[in-house]
Chain A
Amino acid sequence: MILEELANAIGVSGDEGDVRAIVLDAVREHVDDFKVDTMGNVLAFKRGTGRNRLRVMLAAHMDEVGLMVVGYNGDGFLQVRTVGGIDPRLLPGALLLVGPERIPGVIGIKPIHLLEPDERDKAPKIENLVVDVGAKSKDEAKKLAPPGTYIAFATRFRDLGPTVSGKAFDDRAGCAVLVELLRGERFRFDLHAAFTVQEEVGLRGARVAAYTIEPDCAFALEGTIADDIPKEKESSPTTALGQGPAITVMDHSFIADRRLLQLLTDTAQELGIPYQFKQPGIGGTDAGAIHLARAGVPSATVAVPCRYIHSPVALMSLNDFNHTVELMRESLSRLTRRTLK
């Protein structure tokens, strides 16, 4: 399964090479042309069958959150900082892979026996956490992992039955959806697929990709927050597992184009594909950068709900994944110039 292969690959923002290689292998046979741009985005082109064809951009980001080595302390431990948004409370005990050699490492913390009572109530800060790669001295640590070395979570993909678990579903889920769409039949419009870099550090790859592609409209494909877990007060789950693809109306980065929203919801209702609206006002995606490219690009975001994103392990439903592919394929097959009138 392409999702498994993609999720197991390592590609912290700025170091997406391994993921890019998998993507290129997966889509090469199914596109008319492709290139890797200066930032490292994969831009793949699949010609449409219609006349007077729209240019439609589909984007999914290849990068994932992780850590980077910034220093050492005397005993040979690595000092690190986050690349992208990671809650440091999730880090103690995490299994890691350090650098291109994938050296195993762990983030240690004092055993519970030694913790003072007030220490137990405090959240650790990234400044106080160190990565242990078994080095015995500062010099040895520096040799194993020079400053700037990337560190990724070591979690492997697992099939849990109706759900799957693994790291980096944000956004390898979106990448896998995009691969599935490229493998399918041609659409009427010209499909410009962008597997982007550096989303987690500020939507950077998508910005230049959209400038190059200059699309008539765009869809960002994502793995998004599902927080359908017990809470103190009834508010909203951002999204819920098993309820179908999550469609964004508005988040911090953009407001979805209402014509594209209509296309998605009409298609879903007509075909009985389950869907949900992501709770408005939360998060941001590549659509935030894409919709502001050049003279503007009507955009929408569709995502597979994932619990525990930006952590060492996330959980998602394969039904949601398959419904996301189906909703996108069916919606896109109905997309015409008239949709954007």
Chain B
Amino acid sequence: MRDLISKLTGAFGPSGAEEQIRQVIRAKVEPLADEIRVDPLGSLIAHKQGNGEGKRILLDAHMDEIGVMVSYVDEKGFARLTRIGGVFPLYCVGGRVAFANGTVGVIGLEGKRKDPNKAPKLEELYLDVGATSRDDCPIGVGDQAMFVRPFAVQGTRLISKAMDDRVGCAVLIETLRRLKSTPHDVYFVFAVQEEVGLRGARTSAYGIDPDLAIAVDVTTTGDTPESRPMAVELGQGPAIKVKDSGMLAHPAVRDLMVQQAKKAKIPYQLEVLERGTTDAAAMQLVRAGVPAGCLSIPCRYVHSPSEMVDERDVENSVRLLLEVVQAA
């Protein structure tokens, strides 16, 4: 799965501009699914047909990533930025971004700052794409950019930008590949616009009207120096969500995941996340309500350009998800 994760994380797809990543995923799932469609907001849905007697199961991973959007270009060709999703200015300084048309830019920090000891604000950053004037600037207001950083492997750890949530997309694709037959209609949803408010999953879930919905997304960990307390560690197995700031996982969905992990002897952890949420929170509240849960892949440095996961957790997530779908 390393190659798949590398390919997915490298693709361009800030929220609202998911065309390129959608193409990459589409090419992977087209040979595996019975039906493929793109819904009104742009989510890609791969449908694996059941025998007509099973449930409607929705498996979700969001394909968008955080990024920046150009809000202004000044006379000298420097751009100002606004955030797409939860962007931390501290992680931005000295970093690079890339636009859909291939333009690369460096993020600089204003020299004259009122308080140099304070963490920078986004308003104090600018983007330098090598232009000398507004007229020769290859990008304009409204253009989106992704952060760039090469994919790296250290032992069992995988490091990349956009692990959130391309690693979840990889888990879905691999699950679809290994899912030979099932009584259930399984809808693999690669959702748009999660990072700006769980938007794509909400409308996709409405369209699919599922009996059960599971989001696969990354979660933070508590295993780094002086980290905030959190009982999730890299390499200790997929995390089965109990609660985050947007949802309480449906107890039946949570228990189903726990039981299947025990039965198949797949390592797992239970997750309580204090800050942050996933597409499951939106899907749970669609129509008359949907039993929803979340399978999380532990990830360090979430929303930085160097998000780190453990590939054993990724593999075990696929195994667990397959067990859950079979047992549902």
Q: Name the interface residues of A249-303: CB closer than 8 Å to any CB of B.
A: 249-250, 254-258, 261, 277, 279-281, 291-292, 294-298
Contact of B16 among A234, A258, A279, A296 (CB under 8 A): A258
Q: In the assembly, what is the distance between CA of A236 and CA of B78, in Å?
A: 12
Cβ-closest chain B residue relative to A340: B40
B203 at the interface (CB under 8 A from A): yes
Q: List 14 A-B contacts (CB under 8 A).
A: A234-B74, A236-B71, A249-B69, A250-B82, A250-B84, A258-B17, A277-B142, A279-B71, A280-B70, A281-B83, A291-B41, A295-B204, A295-B206, A297-B41
Cβ-closest chain A residue relative to B206: A295
List of B residues within 8 angstroms of A250 by Cβ: 16, 69, 82, 84, 142, 196
Cβ-closest chain B residue relative to A259: B42
Minimal beta-carbon separation of B99 from chain A (angstroms): 14
Name the residue among B40, B41, B83 with the largest chain A CB count within 10 angstroms. Answer: B40
Q: Is B16 in contact with A291, judged by CB distance below 8 angstroms?
A: no
Q: Name the interface residues of A202-253: CB closer than 8 Å to any CB of B.
A: 216, 234-236, 249-250
Main secondary structure, interface of B, reads mixed
Q: In the assembly, what is the distance between CA of A250 and CA of B80, in Å?
A: 15
Minimal beta-carbon separation of A212 from chain B (angstroms): 15
List of B residues within 8 angstroms of A297 by Cβ: 40-41
Minimal beta-carbon separation of B191 from chain A (angstroms): 11
List of A residues within 8 angstroms of B203 by Cβ: 291-292, 294-296
Q: Is A296 in contact with B69, judged by CB distance below 8 angstroms?
A: no
Contact of A295 among B16, B72, B207 (CB under 8 A): B207
Minimal beta-carbon separation of A213 from chain B (angstroms): 14
Minimal beta-carbon separation of A167 from chain B (angstroms): 29
Q: In the assembly, what is the distance between CA of A254 and CA of B123, in Å?
A: 21
Q: Name the interface residues of A288-323: CB closer than 8 Å to any CB of B.
A: 291-292, 294-298
A281-B41 contact, Cβ under 8 Å, with A255-B196, A294-B206: no
Minimal beta-carbon separation of B230 from chain A (angstroms): 29
A292-B123 contact, Cβ under 8 Å, with A280-B71, A281-B82, A281-B83: no
Inter-chain pairs besides A279-B72, A280-B71, A297-B40, 10 sampled, C-beta below 8 Å: A235-B80, A249-B141, A250-B142, A281-B82, A295-B203, A295-B207, A296-B39, A296-B41, A296-B204, A298-B40
List of B residues within 8 angstroms of A255 by Cβ: 15-16, 193, 196
Q: In the assembly, what is the distance between CA of A292 and CA of B16, in Å?
A: 14
Binding site for A on B (CB under 8 A): 15-17, 19, 39-41, 69-72, 74-75, 80, 82-84, 123, 140-142, 193, 196, 199-200, 202-204, 206-207
Q: In the assembly, what is the distance between CA of A249 and CA of B80, in Å?
A: 15
Q: In the assembly, what is the distance between CA of A258 and CA of B199, in Å?
A: 16
A295-B40 contact, Cβ under 8 Å, with A277-B141, A281-B71: yes
Count residues of A near B (Cβ-Cβ below 8 Å).
23
Q: In the assembly, what is the distance between CA of A235 and CA of B82, in Å?
A: 12
Q: Is A236 in contact with B72, judged by CB distance below 8 angstroms?
A: yes
Minimal beta-carbon separation of B195 from chain A (angstroms): 10
List of B residues within 8 angstroms of A256 by Cβ: 16
Minimal beta-carbon separation of B246 from chain A (angstroms): 16
Q: Is A280 in contact with B204, judged by CB distance below 8 angstroms?
A: no
List of A residues within 8 angstroms of B19 by Cβ: 258
Q: In the assembly, what is the distance between CA of A249 and CA of B75, in Å?
A: 22
List of A residues within 8 angstroms of B70 by Cβ: 280
Q: In the assembly, what is the distance between CA of A250 and CA of B204, in Å?
A: 21
List of A residues within 8 angstroms of B140 by Cβ: 277
Minimal beta-carbon separation of B109 from chain A (angstroms): 15
Q: Is A296 in contact with B71, judged by CB distance below 8 angstroms?
A: no
Cβ-closest chain A residue relative to B123: A235
Q: In the assembly, what is the distance between CA of A258 and CA of B39, in Å?
A: 14
Q: In the assembly, what is the distance between CA of A279 and CA of B140, in Å?
A: 11
Minimal beta-carbon separation of B77 from chain A (angstroms): 13
Cβ-closest chain A residue relative to B16: A255
Q: In the assembly, what is the distance between CA of A256 and CA of B41, in Å?
A: 10
Q: Is A280 in contact with B141, judged by CB distance below 8 angstroms?
A: yes
Q: Is B72 in contact with A235, judged by CB distance below 8 angstroms?
A: yes
List of A residues within 8 angstroms of B200 by Cβ: 296
List of B residues within 8 angstroms of A216 by Cβ: 40
Minimal beta-carbon separation of B281 from chain A (angstroms): 14
Cβ-closest chain B residue relative to A251: B82
Minimal beta-carbon separation of B14 from chain A (angstroms): 9
Q: In the assembly, what is the distance between CA of A291 and CA of B42, in Å?
A: 12
Q: In the assembly, what is the distance between CA of A294 and CA of B140, in Å?
A: 33
Q: In the assembly, what is the distance between CA of A256 and CA of B193, in Å?
A: 11
A292-B199 contact, Cβ under 8 Å, with A236-B72, A255-B15, A258-B16: yes
